[in-house]
Each structure stands twice: as C-alpha cells, then as structure tokens.
Amino acid sequence: MGNRIEMKTPLVEMDGDEMTRVIWAKVKELLIEPHVALKTEYYDLGLKNREDTGDRVTTEAAEAIRRRGVGVKCATITPNAERVKEYGLTTMWKSPNGTIRAILDGTVFRAPILVKGIVPYIPTWTKPITIARHAYGDIYRNTEMDVPAGGKVELVRTEADGTKTALPIHAFEGTSGIVQGIHNTDVSIRSFARSCMNFALDTKQDLWFAAKDTISKTYDRRFRDIFETVYTEEYERKFSESGLEFFYTLIDDAIARVIRSNGGYIWACKNYDGDVMSDMVATAYGSLAMMTSALVSPDGCYEYEAAHGTVQKHYYKYLNGEPTSTNAVATLYAWAGALRKRGEMDGLARLADFGAKMELAAVKTIEDGVMTGDLFALSDLPNKERVDTETFLLEIGQRLGDIV
C-alpha cells in the first residue's frame, strides 16, 4: 500500500441495495483500495437508511454532487407495494435517481461496453452508441381524458394578463375518443442541449439530434430551434476545434442512419424516443449488465452509475449462501468513470489514468474468456469459462495489478 495514488477532492459515494451493494464493497476492496488512497464523502442510499432519514439522505447526496462535482452511485431499490412490506416502510419513497436528476437538472447518457467475443445483434455496430434521453415533460407529464361521442375538445392558453387563445383540437362526431395534453419548457430543452453538447466535447464524439419538426411545426420545431441556437451561440467553435460535428435530422432519417452506422456518436433523443430507443440499443448490444450510465448537469456536474438494477434474484441466492455469477462490469465502470473525471477535474493524471486501467482490466478479463453467466450465454469465445461474482473480480484485480 506504499505508493498508492493520492486524491484531492473526495468523490461523492452513494451506496445502494441488494446484490449491487455487495458488489460495491468488493469493487472498492479488491480493485480500488489496493491502488488508490480513496477519499469519498459517503451517503448510504440503501433503502433502510432512506427510511430512517425520511429520504433526506438522497437530497443531501445530490447537493453534495453539486458542491463536489463528481459522484458515483450504486443501484437502489425504487419501492413498490411489495418493498413497502419487505422493508416496513412508512411511505413509498420516490426513486432516488428521479430525486437526484431533479436536483441536478441533468441528462442521462447511456453507453454500452463492447468486448470481443460478444457481437451485437447489429454486427456493424462496432463502436458504442450513446443515448441521451431528455428526461422532462412530453407524455411523461401529460394530462389525458376520454371524450364521449358528440364531445368537442379545444386547446386553451391563458396568458399572465388573462388573455385567452383557444384552438380547436377535434369534434368527436359519431364516435367517442381520447385526448392528451403535453408540454415542455424552453429552460429544460436548453439545459438538455447544453448537457448533450458538453458530454459530446467531453467524450469526443459527434452529436446527433432528431425530432419530427415537419409534422410538429411548433412543438418539435422548438426543440430543433433551441438545439441549433445553443449550438451556434455557445458550442460551434469548440466543436470545430475538436473536429466534432453536431447535426440535426428528422427522427425517421436518424433511425435509418443509426442502423447503417458503425456507432461512435451520441444520439440525443426526446423523452419518449429515448425511453424506447435506449431499450432497443441496450438489447442490440447484448446485456444491461454491460451498460453504463452518466448523469451530466448543464453546469458540469457528473454522476456515474450502472444502468441495471439491484439484481434482486441473485441477492436472494446470495443470502441463501448459494453461489452467484453477477456481472460487476457496469458497477466497475461507474467507479472508473468517476475516478477518471475526478482526476481530470483535479489535474491528477495518475488518478484519471487509473480509471482507464480499471476499464481495460475488465475488458481484458472477459476477452481472456473469464466471465459471468450473463456473458457466458452471449459470448462466442471458444475458451470461455463461467465464474462466480468474486472470482470474476479477483481475475480483474490480477490483470489490473499487472498494468497499474
């Protein structure tokens, strides 16, 4: 432990639940602490502590990320009725990710981790496609009604001074039907655009954005206009200095281009497009356990996590003393991303470099044929071997030791 890498600013560490909490501690113990004098500001977002603190801990953690700039989060339980019983909760606490996202006003970027031996369902996708989903508004904050036959629906806007403007939506003659109202705000769209452009510069990838402004001439058109204005006013020079491109196209055209592409860019999506397309992209690349997730705020704060949940089924096996083969790669990448970003922000090249080496060691382990059950089922390596959770981490640790 003599020559461990020193840190300056602590990382905001958010512990979590179930199997990922088990993996969390192991990643620190087996991979990080042997090489890094780890400094963290610790928040326990495990469900029990959220209950005990009336969920104050989640808000405090988000505020700490604002203050410190970089956080790393373990997967957490979002309570439902069963969890309320299982944990004896006083209330169904909100999703911690939702709470943190609301405080940071951030955008989530999801990117697959590619390894040799696992070929995406679209084999030409040789580089990752990073999806950025706008996580505010549209149908996720809708108001909807059913309309009986003979009914009539209008869209009414009341301005601050009371001026009313009404537009007819539809007169339901001879049939009943449905209606829905959705909204978005310029502030939220602008934040989204900035987060995407910052992340593109950060990761040195082109940025694509698509909507349906030919049909939606006011709503989707506003998204396009804001992206283009933010780009020309704030980012165009930085993009061209970095040799990067921002381009807007129609969503239909974007889909066609994505399928034909090799990957290697960020695809900014409106809320619904991002919801749906992130599932498609994750599935096509093989496994949710090989998907990372970064929350980036428009003012440059970063939170890293795995895209998957707490892997509850594996945890119950673990509690029974049965062997588990849970994939720790996405959790490891969350730590690696956070350490790397912390290193960059604090001007600590060794720390940033260590983050990159953690990723290399994980990829090398899998490409050597040592992998967990989920990857074993997908890999076409001839020498592949299925190992348990801890062996997998120990094997990564050995390879990490060789390159640090």
Is the Cβ of residue 31 or residue 75 nearer to ligand NAP in the bound state?
Answer: 75
Q: Residue 49 binds which one of ligand NAP, Mg ion, none, with CB within 5 to 8 A depending on kind?
A: none
Q: Is 69 exposed, middle or buried (0-12, 13-18, 19+ CB in 10 A)?
A: buried
Binding site partner of 279, from Mg ion, ligand NAP, none, Cβ cut-off 5-8 A by kind: Mg ion
Which residue number has the CB closest to ligand NAP?
A: 309
- Which of these, 127, 126, 133, 135, lies nearest to 267 by C-alpha position? 133
Residue nearest to Mg ion (CB): 275
Q: Which is nearer to ligand NAP, 15 or 374 (CB)?
A: 374
Q: Which does 275 bind (CB under 5 to 8 A by kind): Mg ion, ligand NAP, none?
A: Mg ion
Helices (H), 217-301: 219-230, 236-241, 251-260, 271-285
CA distances from 18 to 75, 309, 317 (A): 9, 9, 11
CA dist., res. 73 & res. 361, Å (int): 21
**Where does this chain bind ligand NAP (CB under 6 A)?**
75-78, 97, 288-289, 305, 308-313, 326-327, 372, 374
- Of 144 and 279, the one with the shorter C-beta distance to Mg ion is 279
Phi–psi pair at 196, nearest 5 degrees: -65, -45
The nearest distance, CB 6 to ligand NAP, in angstroms, is 30
Residue with smaller CB distance to ligand NAP, 55 or 220: 55
User: Rounded to the nearest whole angstrom, what is the least distance from the CB of residue 75 to ligand NAP in the complex?
Assistant: 4
Interacting residues toward Mg ion by CB under 5 A: 275, 279
Closest of 100, 98, 92 to residue 51, by C-alpha = 92
Q: Which is nearer to Mg ion, 310 or 379 (CB)?
A: 310
Partner from Mg ion, ligand NAP, none binding residue 188, C-beta < 5-8 Å depending on class: none
User: Which of ligand NAP, Mg ion, none sits in contact with 75, Cβ below 5 to 8 A by type?
Assistant: ligand NAP
In the complex, what is the shortest distance from the CB of residue 352 to ligand NAP, in angstroms, rounded to a whole number?
25
Q: How far is the CB of 300 from ligand NAP (least distance, A)?
A: 22
| Residue 366: CB minimum distance to Mg ion, A | 26
Name the minimum Å distance from CB 348 to Mg ion.
37
With respect to ligand NAP, which residue has the nearer C-beta, 179 or 378?
Answer: 378
Query: In the complex with ligand NAP, which residue's Cβ is closer, 74 or 210?
Result: 74
Cβ atoms within 10 Å of 94's Cβ, excluding its own: 14
Smallest distance from ligand NAP to CB 248, Å: 30
DSSP 235: I
Chosen from ligand NAP, Mg ion, none, partner binding at 195 (C-beta under 5 to 8 Å by type): none
**Residue spans of beta strands (DSSP E) within 273-341:** 291-296, 302-306
Q: What is the DSSP string of 7-35?
A: -SSPEEEEE--HHHHHHHHHIIIIIITTT
Nearest CB to Mg ion, comparing residues 86 and 279: 279
Quick count: other Cβ atoms within 10 Å of Cβ 240? 11
Instruction: Report the distance separating Cα 193 and Cα 173, nearest Å.
Output: 42
Written as six digits, the tokens of 332 are 């490891």
Nearest approach, Cβ of 226 to ligand NAP (angstroms)? 28
Give burial (CB, 10 Å; 0-12/13-18/19+) of 89. Answer: middle
Residue in the block written with tokens 């673990």:
318
CA 402/CA 404 separation, integer angstroms? 6
Name which of 14 and 193 has its Cβ closer to ligand NAP. Answer: 14
Q: How far is the CB of 11 from ligand NAP (least distance, A)?
A: 18
Distance CA 224, CA 212 (A): 9
